[in-house]
Structure 1
């Protein structure tokens, strides 16, 4: 599996790792709102830190790999696109939030940001 990942293009490998890391971080930041709302805030914080550790174990190497071919700005925009792509399904499926047209407008704004950061 590791050899397979190492043979992937940098942008694919980076994106894959950032998607996984963002899934952990989204749960760390927002999962406690559903699962631990009856607990003290510091219990939620400690559990969130534990989840966030896995995010960092993926995010730090992903950014180091990505930075070999991408600029810092490109890495940031890639992260923002991934964040929105992970957050919307999380909000709708896990947190039972309704779909909002604002998600579409935010995605369109990010398409523009991607264009400007990745153009030659």
Structure 2
């Protein structure tokens, strides 16, 4: 999804908007074809909330590399702290619930 949503910022700047949209949707279709079966297989072992949190963390992890390597953006300290907060959120999401 990272390439579908952000790749045109680097590689398709001269494209008309409609072309960037069509190419992005074509790339995204491939990921959806993988994500839907993965969610079906994971549901039951993980809750819907946990599956979404896993997906978001994976997406952000990939995006960090993409932004630094492809878009040549700098990874600042505040981004690192935001990512740390997200890692804490993951910990809370997978922490066993309290029993009454």
What TM-score do you get using the length of structure 2 for normalisation? 0.90
Which among 16, 20, 45 is matched to residue 40 of structure 1? Answer: 16
Shift of 1:68: 2.6
Cα RMSD after superposing both structures:
0.9
Map of 1:18 onto structure 2: none
Structure 1, unaligned runs of 5 or more: 1-24
Q: After TM superposition, what 4+ stretches of structure 1 lie above 4 angstroms from structure 2? A: none
In structure 2, what is the Cα distance between the partners aligned to 1:61 and 1:95?
A: 31
In structure 2, what is the Cα distance between the partners aligned to 1:109 and 1:97?
A: 21
Which among 34, 40, 52 is matched to residue 76 of structure 1? Answer: 52
Shift of 1:95: 0.9
In structure 2, what is the Cα distance between the partners aligned to 1:93 and 1:41?
A: 24
Shift of 1:31: 0.2
User: Residues 45-65 of structure 1, C-alpha deviation per residue, up to 9 Å, x if partnerless?
Assistant: 001111011010111111111
User: Partner of 2:20: helix, strand, or coil?
Assistant: helix
In structure 1, what is the Cα distance between the partners aligned to 2:74 and 2:89?
A: 26
Structure with bigger helix share is 1
Map of 1:107 onto structure 2: 83
How many residue pairs get aligned? The number is 96
Q: Is the CA contact 1:29–1:48 (under 8 Å) kept in the aligned structure 2?
A: yes
Shift of 1:102: 2.2
Structure 2, unaligned runs of 5 or more: none
